[in-house]
Each structure stands twice: as C-alpha cells, then as structure tokens.
C-alpha cells in the first residue's frame, strides 16, 4: 500500500513564552487529503502550533516543513506567498468590518490572482453558494449571525484553493444547528480533497470531520491515531478527552 504524501511536517518544535514552556518537542506529519484533529487542554499550545505554521509565532527550535522549505527560517516577506497556500479559519471569522461579504471574499482574489472583476464575482458567488450564503453579498459583518460570520470566514480562507487549511476552534460559541451547518460545509470541502488541521475543544465535531487525531499533552504530541482507534481506545489519556463527549 502506497504511503500517503506528507504535505506538512513539524519536527521537534519548542516554544516558550517567558518562563512558560508551551512546546517541548512537538512533531507530527499532515498527509494529503486528510483532516488531522488536534486535542489538548486549555493553554496546551494548540493554537500556537497553527500560528507558528503561518508565521504569526516563531518557534524557539525545530522545523516546519512545507513544500520542501523550512518555514521557520523565512522572513516576513518570504512568508507572504506561503500564506496564499495555507488558509486560516479564525475562531471569530475575522472579517473586515467595513467591507461587505462580497468584498471580504474578493479581497484575497484581488490581491493574489489576475482574475477579472467578472471572474472574481463568479468565484465569490460560487463560494457563497457552497457555504449556504447565496445573496449575502452586500451584507456587512455586523449584519450576519455568528454562524454566518464563521461560514463567510471559511469561504474566504478557502477561496484561493490553498493546499492546507488551518481551523482554529471553528465551532466555538455556535449553537448545535449552526455547528452542524458549519461541519457540513467543512465536510463538503473535504470531499473535494481539502487537507487541514482541526484544532478544537468540540470532541464530537472533531470526530465528525477528522481522519486522524493527535493529542497534545505536556508540550508534546503524546498520541496520534485514527478516529476509529480513538473512539475505541481504553488509553486513560485518550479517555480523558473522549469520556462523556457523546461521540458517534
């Protein structure tokens, strides 16, 4: 059986904030076409891993290999094109308040492609259809529900068709109906071949979209296993996350 292609590889990453050591040798691979769930307690550094991948944090030691390059060594200018290849779905949607939904989605296309205004409009409309937001073009972010803001943020993160999508607590603060709708959108993109890392405290959501799940504990990745293996695991560390989570 052919080994899956590794898209992103984190090797022996260390990170401290003052006296607090957050990462003590984090290592894992992300495979093409998979969504890797990432579990860990509050303050364990899950979001710091995502922010390090896109250059918003800088590891003290270790490597982040993407497209054959160590991202840790890149300057801010060199990271700029990398960020078009790695989409980031922020916890709050992170839309520009003064821009309409259409303008928010069009912005990456205007900045990083040579598409015509007509082509940009068509791509924006296509993405809005895919996240169940047709005709939301002229709405401002403050006119959107929390669920709509997150789905618009998802559409903007994916509109450049990045090689990897990073999800930072995407379902946080959503009611069950909007959580389900967002997860269905994510699953639809996954069926189209999306590769991603899914950081969350929402264990049932992670099990719904992830192929494998990694557990970050004591500054390291202590376990990585398939979703099914984790559901059936008797490991006390695994069960500390899964017990009572109402997983299917």
Q: How confident is the model over 50-59, as pLDDT tens digits? A: 999 999 999 9
Average pLDDT rounded to a whole number, residues 40-52? 92
**Which residues make beta-bridge pairs with 215?**
39, 223
Q: Confidence class of residue 242 from pLDDT cuts 50, 70 and 90?
A: confident
User: E strands of 18-148, at which residues?
Assistant: 20-31, 35-40, 61-66, 69-70, 86-89
Q: Report the mean per-residue pLDDT for the chain.
A: 92
Q: Does the structure show a pLDDT above 70 at 247? A: no
Q: Confidence class of residue 1 from pLDDT cuts 50, 70 and 90?
A: low
Q: Which of 30, 23, 38, 27 is nearest to 5 (CA)?
A: 30
Domain boundaries, the chain: 6-94+163-242
- Tokens coding 140: 């401002």
- Percent of the chain with pLDDT strictly greater than 90: 79
CA distance 102 to 120: 10
CA distance 7 to 43: 27
CA distance 223 to 27: 11
Mapped to the 3 state alphabet, what secondary structure does 91-114 carry?
A: CCCCCCCCCCHHHHHHHHHHHHCC
| pLDDT number for residue 120 | 96
Question: pTM for the whole thing?
Answer: 0.93
Relative to beta strand 220-226, strand 212-217 is: antiparallel
Q: HSE of 212 in the Cβ direction (CA atoms, 13 Å)?
A: 17
Is residue 56 a contact partner of residue 62, using CB atoms and an 8 Å limit? no
According to CATH, the topology of domain 6-94+163-242 is: Rossmann fold (3.40.50)
Q: What angle do CA 156, 159, 164 make, to 5 degrees?
A: 95
């Amino acid at each position: 059986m052919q080994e899956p292609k590794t898209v992103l590889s984190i090797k022996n990453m260390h990170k401290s904030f003052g006296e607090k050591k957050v990462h003590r040798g984090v290592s894992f691979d992300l495979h093409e076409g998979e969504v890797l769930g990432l579990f860990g307690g509050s303050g364990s550094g899950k979001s710091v891993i995502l922010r390090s991948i896109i250059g918003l944090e800088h590891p003290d030691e270790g490597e982040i290999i993407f497209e054959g390059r160590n991202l840790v060594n890149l300057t801010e200018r060199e990271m700029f094109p990398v960020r078009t290849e790695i989409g980031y779905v922020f916890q709050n949607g992170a839309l520009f308040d003064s821009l309409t939904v259409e303008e928010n989605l069009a912005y990456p296309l205007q900045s990083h492609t040579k598409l015509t205004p007509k082509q940009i409009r068509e791509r924006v409309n296509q993405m809005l259809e895919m996240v169940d937001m047709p005709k939301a073009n002229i709405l401002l972010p403050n006119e959107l529900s929390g669920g709509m803001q997150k789905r618009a943020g998802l559409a903007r993160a994916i509109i450049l068709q990045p090689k990897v999508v990073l999800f930072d607590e995407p379902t946080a603060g959503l009611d069950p109906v909007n959580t389900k709708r967002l997860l269905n959108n994510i699953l639809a993109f996954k069926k189209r071949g999306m590769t991603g890392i899914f950081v969350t405290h929402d264990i049932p959501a992670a099990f719904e979209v992830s192929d494998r799940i990694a557990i970050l504990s004591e500054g390291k990745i202590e376990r990585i296993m398939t979703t099914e293996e984790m559901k059936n695991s008797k490991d006390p560390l695994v069960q500390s996350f899964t017990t009572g989570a109402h997983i299917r």
